[in-house]
Amino acid sequence: MDNHRPEGVGGMVDADGQTCRKSSGTMQPELSDAELLALELDLFCGECDKPELNEGDDGHTSSRSAESCCTGQGTVEDTCSRNEQSSNQSEQKSEMPPEGSSTKRRKQDERIPLERFGRKYLNVTDLTRQVWCEQQVVYGLELPHIEQLREEVPVVKAGSCLHLARELEIQDIVPINVESREDSWAVKILNLLSMIQFLQAGERVRELPVFGELEGIFLVGVVDELCYNSKGELELCELKTRGQRTYPSAAQRKSHLFQVNIYKLLFEAMIKGKLNKETITDHLRLRTEQPFSSEILMHAQKVGFSINTFGDLLDLMLLNLTYAEIPNIDTMKIEYCYQADASLIGTEVVYFEEEWVKSELKHYCSFWKGQREAKGVDIEEAWKCRSCDFADICEWRHSKAEEATQKNRANKSK
Ligand code: SF4
């Protein structure tokens, strides 16, 4: 399957409206790919292109909440699961595998990856990170202590601050205690309901939760911003912050395009009434009869919703989504900002490519459903391994290096 996006799907414009040259952001290796794979990784400098810690490279989900409530008066943040990633850790407990050969271990475990990693749903960023390297996503789940170190790097923290600053421009955040998984999802849904009201009033919203089933897997994401442009069209804007004043590499760009295309699919399925109660409760294993904590009940009342159980809230949400008459997303763009001073590097207009995004989804989801093994990077993209935290232990990289060495030997002996 060809998983590469067709050329010409978006256009880059810089802060002054000029067409920009895209920086690859990568070092062109002078060594062969085989040599590159086999080299000691600490010989390389840290300036090479890195995968972005999504929602992006900028740590958006590392500190921003998928579950902070936007009320317009005061806002609420689930203090138990502050973001997509941490809520995964708290709600979806991954099982730590024993030490040993991970390939052997995976082969012995007959469960599909979704079950093996204890995941009820995937974040959109799980999929977009697969675009960079699927094997790296697997190692991140198998070795979460290494993965967590990535969240501490300054570039990720700086990205989080910029996202937070943007959110605080239009909404406040108030922490709320949650006592159950249903409470945690209630925060997300109450946020959504409040934002739907703002969208109906023609206002801008930020950090909008989106979720639903695609390819048989429940996906959860957070849209940075939705607003109406000067033509009255609904516009999606995704913020990506950069440590350098350059555009991302083609590899990073592909994951960004994939991300916003998935957001459009999820959002439009929600407002067209394609979500249903059973899909949510079956995938997430949530109890409709579960009563809420007092803090959730108080907050719901404050924002004008009368609910008692999780089932009530789901009914309310589905009704609101179906009858809200929110339009489809007409335009999509990605804003690249320089982390040091928050200045705009440029904007990329993204075109919705339905066939492409669905085919990519099918491919990446097939791994989670156990229909194929995880793949590492192709030898042409061996440069990615230079900045990978798992390079020393990566069996894919070692096998590719071995393969390439044998091929070279065979060619020389001809
Ligand atoms: Fe992927 Fe390379 Fe890292 Fe292995 S070393 S996980 S192939 S990026």
Q: Indicate the top mutation candidate among 134, 394, 395 to test ligand 1's pocket, ranked by most ligand atoms within 8 A of CB.
A: 394
Backbone torsions φ then ψ of 235, nearest 5 degrees: -120, 135
Q: Is 102 in the pocket of ligand 1 (CB under 6 A)?
A: no
Measured in angstroms, how far is the CA atom of residue 58 from the centroid of ligand 1?
A: 20
Q: Is 394 in the pocket of ligand 1 (CB under 6 A)?
A: yes
Determine how β-strand 234-242 pairs with β-strand 205-214. unpaired
Which residue's CA lies nearest to atom 5 of ligand 1? 391
Q: What is the pLDDT of residues 115-140, one digit of tens each?
A: 999 999 999 999 999 999 999 999 99
Rg (CA), the chain: 22
Q: Residue 235 in contact with residue 332, Cβ under 8 Å?
A: yes
Which residue's CA lies nearest to atom 2 of ligand 1? 385
Q: Is 352 in the pocket of ligand 1 (CB under 6 A)?
A: no
Q: Is 135 in the pocket of ligand 1 (CB under 6 A)?
A: yes
Nearest to 75 by CA among 85, 84, 65: 65
d(CA 63, CA 161): 8
Which residue's CA lies nearest to atom 7 of ligand 1? 376
Q: Is 390 in the pocket of ligand 1 (CB under 6 A)?
A: yes
Q: Residue 226 in contact with residue 199, Cβ under 8 Å?
A: yes
Kindly give the number of the ligand 1 atom that is closest to the alpha carbon of 388.
3
Measured in angstroms, how far is the CA atom of residue 200 from the centroid of ligand 1?
A: 45
d(CA 35, CA 29): 10
Q: What is the pLDDT of residues 145-201, one digit of tens each?
A: 876 666 666 666 777 787 777 777 777 787 899 999 999 999 999 999 999 999 999
Kindly give the number of the ligand 1 atom that is closest to the alpha carbon of 133.
1
Q: Indicate the top mutation candidate among 26, 131, 135, 249 to test ligand 1's pocket, ranked by most ligand atoms within 8 A of CB.
A: 135
Burial class (CB in 10 A: 0-12, 13-18, 19+), 413: exposed
**Residue 213: beta bridge partners?**
218
Measured in angstroms, how far is the CA atom of residue 131 from the centroid of ligand 1?
A: 12
Q: Is 374 in the pocket of ligand 1 (CB under 6 A)?
A: no
pLDDT value for 412: 82
Q: Is 137 in the pocket of ligand 1 (CB under 6 A)?
A: no
Measured in angstroms, how far is the CA atom of residue 139 from the centroid of ligand 1?
A: 9
Q: Tell me what the pLDDT averaged over the chain comes to.
A: 79
Q: Residue 200 in contact with residue 324, Cβ under 8 Å?
A: yes
Measured in angstroms, how far is the CA atom of residue 12 from the centroid of ligand 1?
A: 29
d(CA 1, CA 390): 27
Q: Is 388 in the pocket of ligand 1 (CB under 6 A)?
A: yes
**Residue 348: beta bridge partners?**
12, 334
Tens of pLDDT along the chain (414 residues)? 333 333 333 344 444 443 333 333 333 334 444 444 554 343 332 333 455 444 333 333 333 333 344 444 334 566 543 333 334 444 565 444 444 566 666 667 789 999 999 999 999 999 999 999 999 999 999 998 876 666 666 666 777 787 777 777 777 787 899 999 999 999 999 999 999 999 999 999 999 999 999 999 999 999 999 999 999 999 999 999 999 999 999 999 999 999 999 999 999 999 999 999 999 999 999 999 999 999 999 999 998 999 999 999 999 999 999 999 999 999 999 999 998 888 999 999 999 999 999 999 999 999 999 999 999 999 889 999 998 999 999 999 999 888 888 888 888 887
Measured in angstroms, how far is the CA atom of residue 397 from the centroid of ligand 1?
A: 6
Measured in angstroms, how far is the CA atom of residue 51 from the centroid of ligand 1?
A: 11
Q: Is 383 in the pocket of ligand 1 (CB under 6 A)?
A: no
In angstroms, the first-to-last Cα distance of the chain is: 32
Q: Indicate the top mutation candidate among 384, 393, 402 to test ligand 1's pocket, ranked by most ligand atoms within 8 A of CB.
A: 384
Dump the DSSP string for 366-402. HHHTTSS------GGGGGGGGG-TTGGG-HHHHHHHH
d(CA 68, CA 35): 48
Tokens of residue 299, six digits = 């907050």
Kindly give the number of the ligand 1 atom that is closest to the alpha carbon of 377.
7
Measured in angstroms, how far is the CA atom of residue 24 from the centroid of ligand 1?
A: 19
d(CA 20, CA 14): 6
